[in-house]
Amino acid sequence: MVNKIIDWVVQRPVILDFVRRILENNHQGEKEVISQELPERQSQIVLDLGCGTGVFSPWFGPGYVGIDISQPYINYARWRYPSKQFQVMDAGKIQFPAQSFDAIWVNGVLHHLNDTAVSLVVAEMKRLLKPGGKAVVMEDIPAQQIISRFVRSLDAGEHIRTPQGYRNLLAEQFLVQKEYPLRTGVCDYQVFILA
């Protein structure tokens, strides 16, 4: 029953965005991370990998490109944010040339993927970043509080890892320059800054 409700919500971008805004305090945490870690984003070419409904696209400039594997999410994102670019793509096989991006933003995607798939995605990120580029990854970690544990139990991602679990996979291609935990609304994340 609960799973059916979650599936129903996930397939309706307007409702999904609304529920997430409540659970994540209007994405305050994500917005702070974007502002602090990507201060030059307005003038940069930035890939939003696994952009979903494109909810973070307004925080970036004209060089923003969002990709997601879900056609319905991309359709919605194109309708909601018509000035931004969105494309349907598998993050494990991205159809852009090497060194296309100054920065890559990844929020809440890797916990939907198994280790083999994450390794492919991380290799793609490395290929796509320009030399000196920066990647910011923000991922769901095991919940700290009871309410958060309940929300986590509803999450569709089946591969929520400890910070160490994500770090090991990211370190296959990147130097993890900095990382820190972050709580936004009732959700617990770990932020990784990669170079």
Ligand X SMILES: C[S@@+](CC[C@H](N)C(=O)[O-])C[C@H]1O[C@@H](n2cnc3c(N)ncnc32)[C@H](O)[C@@H]1O
Distance CA 18, CA 16 (A): 5
Distance CA 172, CA 91 (A): 17
Name the phi and psi angles at 75, rounded to 5.
-60, -45
According to CB under 6 A, which one of 19, 63, 92, 179 is a site residue for ligand X?
92
Instruction: State which of positions 48-67 bind ligand X (CB under 6 A).
Output: 50-52, 55
The window from 85-93, 141-149, 166-174, 185-193 that contacts ligand X (CB under 6 A) reads: 85-93
Which residue's CB is nearer to ligand X, number 116 or number 131? 116
Residue partners of 116: CB distance under 8 A and separation at least 6: none
Under rule CB under 6 A, residue 47 binds ligand X: no
The sign of the dihedral angle between the CA atoms of 170, 175, 181, 184 is negative
Residue partners of 18: CB distance under 8 A and separation at least 6: none
Which residue's CB is nearer to ligand X, number 108 or number 133? 108
Contact 34, 61 (CB under 8 A): no
The window from 75-83, 101-109, 158-166, 177-185 that contacts ligand X (CB under 6 A) reads: 101-109
Under rule CB under 6 A, residue 13 binds ligand X: no
Under rule CB under 6 A, residue 84 binds ligand X: no
Instruction: State which of positions 113-152 bind ligand X (CB under 6 A).
Output: 113
According to CB under 6 A, which one of 25, 70, 87, 168 is a site residue for ligand X?
70
